[in-house]
Amino acid sequence: MTEREPLDVIEAMQSMPARRYLKPDPIPDDILWEILDAAIRGPTGGNNQQWGWVVVRDPEIKQKIADSYRPILQSAYGHGRARPEDLTGGKRLQWGTLEVAESDVGVDAANQRAVLHLADTIQNAPVLVLPVIERAAAYNDTQAHGALLGSFIYGAVQNLMLAARAHGIGSVLTGGRVLSDISDINQWLGLPELAAVMALIPLGYPERGRWAQPKRRSVEQVTHWDRWGEQHTR
Amino acid sequence: MTEREPLDVIEAMQSMPARRYLKPDPIPDDILWEILDAAIRGPTGGNNQQWGWVVVRDPEIKQKIADSYRPILQSAYGHGRARPEDLTGGKRLQWGTLEVAESDVGVDAANQRAVLHLADTIQNAPVLVLPVIERAAAYNDTQAHGALLGSFIYGAVQNLMLAARAHGIGSVLTGGRVLSDISDINQWLGLPELAAVMALIPLGYPERGRWAQPKRRSVEQVTHWDRWGEQHTR
């Protein structure tokens, strides 16, 4: 096992921003296995583990994914489109009785540059991880079932990214849209008929940036005690 | 801040089974705040943080939720219904070329007893956390959008449970079905019109059991290298 420093679990969460500037340097196999083995300790309903974890290192497949993914990222973020208003259907955010500090929400100029950098370079990340739910299409096609499907995979995905963090490897959760917009991806990966790719996570050692605290609205602003709108200070 | 031992992040994941036997002992406020503050470092698309975290300690609301939740859990798990075949629509699981060790999948008799115990006692957990997406219904009502919604919350939910683990507090992710089956819950919590409860997570100090490794299919069985079905040993 490759040696690493222990990292406290809460400290890990408090120092894990999305990393979008990644070096092409390879990730050793034993580290990848350790990260994946941590991922699959995440929860699934009824412990059904109806998942597969596709680890893409083949340059050709990475390039195909990148070529399809780039325009999606560009159209989402390339023209200042990622304002919080857009993501909430045009409504200004308001949380209970507390004002929202706008700068803690959405994507600022530096983030936007980072997203576009990733769009241009994702094929150079040493590893792309694509978590797959095998019989996703067998669930009823409703939002409730879609959300249920999400609860069967994204906890494990978070484990994956935190475990990578423990090894000094950066990542970012992308690709909610992969599911619907890159229909060829199932074929490239040879997925079973009813399978769905649930995310696209590049992994790599960081090229720039730091393990800063992820910028969020304060916990007081988003916590409600017993009833929505009942908020108090820490 | 309440003192605690540091806990390595990968060690945390490797010792965090679902805990369903919980003591009624209260959780101190400062620990709850620390857990919630770790949760909200989880990812959302475009950092939109369109979430609220409802922390229920009011015995009356807990009882209402428990009374609605009990029959759902009982009908899902009460009669041996949680076999992996059921959760996959009747199909026997098979993963690539490797055989599946059945005992690592699904819910065994001890788990089933634990689920029914939780169904009977969830109102006694000191805290129920209900992560809410505020304008969930504004997303198109499709599976893809449902899954996207899931990617906006379940990473943070995993953070919540891991941070609780760091404090020796047990939890279990339940309630994919809450979303569709307990329609009154939005009213009890006074949620905004388009909001959706995405999960129900009881938190409490464990009454029995231990921080064992979550039982899963081996990582070799669920990892595919470059293409589905390309599997190799660690």
Task: Evaluate if residue A214 carries a pLDDT over 50.
Answer: yes
Cβ count within 10 A of residue A167: 19
DSSP reduced 3-state for B212: coil
B86, B143, B211: best mutation site toward chain A, by most A Cβ within 10 Å? B143
Cβ count within 10 A of residue B103: 9
Q: What is the pLDDT of residues B73-121, one digit of tens each?
A: 777 665 544 444 444 443 344 333 344 445 678 888 888 899 899 999 9
DSSP-assigned beta bridge partners for residue A69: none
CB contact under 8 A, A224 and B54: yes
Task: Evaluate if residue A198 carries a pLDDT over 50.
Answer: yes
Contact between B118 and B65 (Cβ < 8 Å): no
Locate tokens 């905004």: which residue? B192
**What pLDDT, on the 0 to 100 scale, is given for residue B70?**
87
Task: Evaluate if residue A84 carries a pLDDT over 80.
Answer: no
Residues 6 or more apart whose Cβ sits within 8 Å of residue A55: A32, A36, A127, A128, A129, B223, B224, B225, B226
Distance CA B199, CA B220 (A): 30
CB contact under 8 A, B227 and A189: yes
* H-only helix segments in chain A: 9-13, 29-39, 59-77, 84-87, 109-121, 143-151, 154-166, 178-181, 185-188, 219-222
Average predicted confidence (pLDDT) for chain A: 85
DSSP reduced 3-state for B234: coil
> Percent of chain A at pLDDT above 90?
61
Nearest residue on chain A to B181, alpha-carbon basis: A144
**What pLDDT, on the 0 to 100 scale, is given for residue A231?**
96
Q: Phi and psi at residue B169, in whole multiples of 5°?
A: -105, 130
Contact between A170 and A164 (Cβ < 8 Å): yes
Distance CA B218, CA B104 (A): 8
Contact between B124 and B196 (Cβ < 8 Å): no
**What pLDDT, on the 0 to 100 scale, is given for residue B141?**
61
Angle at A96 between CA B151 and CA B159, to 5 degrees: 35
Q: What is the pLDDT of residues A24-55, one digit of tens each?
A: 999 999 999 999 999 999 999 888 899 999 99
Domains of chain B are 21-222 (3.40.109.10)
Cβ count within 10 A of residue A156: 27
Q: Residue A180's closest CA among A72, A85, A108, A100?
A: A72
CA atoms within 13 A on the CB side of A3: 0
Distance CA A140, CA A142 (A): 6
**What pLDDT, on the 0 to 100 scale, is given for residue A144?**
66
Distance CA B11, CA A166 (A): 10
CB contact under 8 A, A12 and B16: no
Distance CA A83, CA B40 (A): 19
Cβ count within 10 A of residue B62: 20
Average pLDDT, stretch A97-111? 65
Instruction: Please give the single-letter amino acid code of residue B193.
Output: E
Average predicted confidence (pLDDT) for chain B: 85
Q: What is the pLDDT of residues B177-217, one digit of tens each?
A: 555 556 789 999 999 988 889 999 999 999 999 999 999 99
Task: Evaluate if residue A220 carries a pLDDT over 90.
Answer: yes
Nearest residue on chain B to A225, alpha-carbon basis: B55
What's this model's pTM, rounded to 2 decimal places? Answer: 0.91
Sort out which chain B residues have CB atoms less than 8 A from A110's CB and list them.
none
**What pLDDT, on the 0 to 100 scale, is given for residue A7?**
98
CB-based contact (8 Å) between B142 and chain A?
yes
Provide the token pair at A199.
């995310």
CB contact under 8 A, A146 and B151: no
DSSP reduced 3-state for A149: helix
Q: Which of A36, A77, A179 sits opposite B147 (nearest CB)?
A: A179
Taking CA atoms, B2 is separated from A148, B30, B74, B127, B157, in Å, by 35, 7, 37, 18, 22
Q: Phi and psi at residue B193, in whole multiples of 5°?
A: -55, -45
CB contact under 8 A, B47 and A107: yes
Distance CA B99, CA B200 (A): 34
